[in-house]
Structure 1
Amino acid sequence: MVGCWALWEHRNKVVFDQREVDPGGVIKRAWDVVEEIDGGGWGNEGIGGSGNRSQGQVRNKGWKKPPDGFFKVNVDAGVKEDAGVTLGVVCRDSEGRVLWAVSCVQEQVWEPQVAEAVAVLEGVMEARRRGHSMVMIESDCLQVVEALKRKAKGRSVFSLVIDDILAVSISFHSVLWSHVCRMNNSVAHSLAHLVPRTVGRVVWSDSLPPIVNNAVSFDLSLMQ
């Protein structure tokens, strides 16, 4: 049913708005909705790990603490057709405290999965600048997480961004790639959809915008 709805939504964009639609975007849209309904998570294996669902993890809700010694970096991207992309990144410790956050608006227009990969790249680069050595990178884009786990190669823009992420990640002592449903990625999502949208990059270390603080509070109330 979700697949049919996604096809109809994208069909209307083609018929009524004369937009070009990427078939991969139809699949991603349907999958994102299913993941939100399901509330599922995926195993947090490191580079090269498998992407299989962990038993007992499907119905877990709320932000999860990273393993001991790790900082968790959640990322998200928003795509505004013909108006660029927005990126949101937030880093938290094992107690859920926000250490730093980034909101970035870029004029480039990318496909959704490319934008999500660029958000991961922004996250790993900022984590490296901050001197973190053990990080868990969490995204609600399954395609990106799976590509990172299997070190996917190719010549597409998406593959080149994956290559850049893996190149930066070499500088960490340990890095884990984690997939999360969108409802459990609310802080990064809020950062990626801040208004007004002005091109540039903003970094927070001490305080966050109210709407982001609300998302953090909600996460902490459900923290596992």
Structure 2
Amino acid sequence: MWRGVALVRDWVEETMRELGEKERVLFLVTCWVLWERRNMMIFEEERWDVGTIMRRIRGIIWEMESVQDNEVSRSVVGSRLGSWEPPGSGVSKINTDAGVVEGVGVGLGAVSRNSAGEVEWAVVVQRGAGCAVDMAEAEAILLGLREAIRMQSRNVVIESDCLIVVDDLNRNRRGKSELFVIYEEIRQLSLSFESIVFKHISRNFNKLAHVIAHAMPWFHGRRFWTSVLPAELGVVALSDVSNLI
């Protein structure tokens, strides 16, 4: 066994020496994703096709490149970096995010704001049952759509920092797994709106939804707010708006 480990180590080291910088990053991300999916197959009995694995790799690479771009942009745009951007007049922008905390549970968050940056409503659902990150992100979008319908929104932009899910929805990808069942429900609810756009954004532009999804102290249940948020959430919302001035 140890000889096998040594051979793999030597092969990895030799491969890394032969590759350029971008190729090394791609190689390491691919290895990590394959290991991640292998563990999910063994411990969670989830099977993933090649297309899903490739989208996962592409999503990670995109996020890494976005972080690098933001580091370069920080010296140019200053405090505006990572600011939430308001929608057009008459449109509600709904940011969604999911927080999967190992051994604790899953948090789903969504927040709707208008063209003035004012919070229309926000919701968080937290539960003990765990699930894959992609599925949790899709459930967060589903949560946002349900609340938007309940609050009678007509024109919405849905923003999520999960590239895989947004890409799947925009490309109308189909499948038989539980994730695609959630996609189908999202598509059905989308028919309730006069206009709807699914948009992928960097995590820097999704801060309030992220904080809501990870709201503490952790408890199992649902919390809903209208225009007035708890102090810890209101500070984040005001920070986003102040950066737009």
Shorter-chain TM band: 0.7 to 0.9
Runs of at least 5 residues in structure 2 that lack an aligned partner in the other structure: 1-23, 72-79
Contact 1:36 1:182 in 2 (8 A): no
Higher relative contact order (CA 8 A, sep 6+): 1
Name which of 4, 10, 34 aligns with 2:65.
34
Alignment check: 8 A CA contact 1:39 1:181 kept: no
Counterpart selection for 1:94 from 86, 95, 115: 115
Equivalent residues in 2 for 1:1-224, closer than 5 Å: 4=28, 24=53, 27=57, 28-39=59-70, 61-223=82-244
**Partner AA of 1:87 in structure 2:** L
Deviations 1:27-70 (A, max 9, x none): 35554343333349xxxxxxxxxxxxxxxxxx974211212221
Query: Normalised by the size of structure 1, how large is the TM-score?
Result: 0.78
Aligned-pair identity in percent equals 35
Whole-angstrom distance in 2 between the partners of 1:96 and 1:164: 28
Say if 1:71 and 1:110 are closer, same or farther in 2 by CA, change over 3 A.
same
Structure possessing the higher radius of gyration over alpha carbons: 2
More helix by share: 2
Using a 3 Å threshold, how does the CA distance of structure 1 residues 39 and 168 change in structure 2: closer, same or farther?
Answer: farther
The number of equivalent residue pairs is: 203
Q: CA deviation at 1:9?
A: 10
User: What is the alpha-carbon distance in structure 2 between the residues aligned to residue 151 and residue 9 of structure 1?
Assistant: 24
Q: Structure 1: which 5+ runs fail to align?
A: 41-58
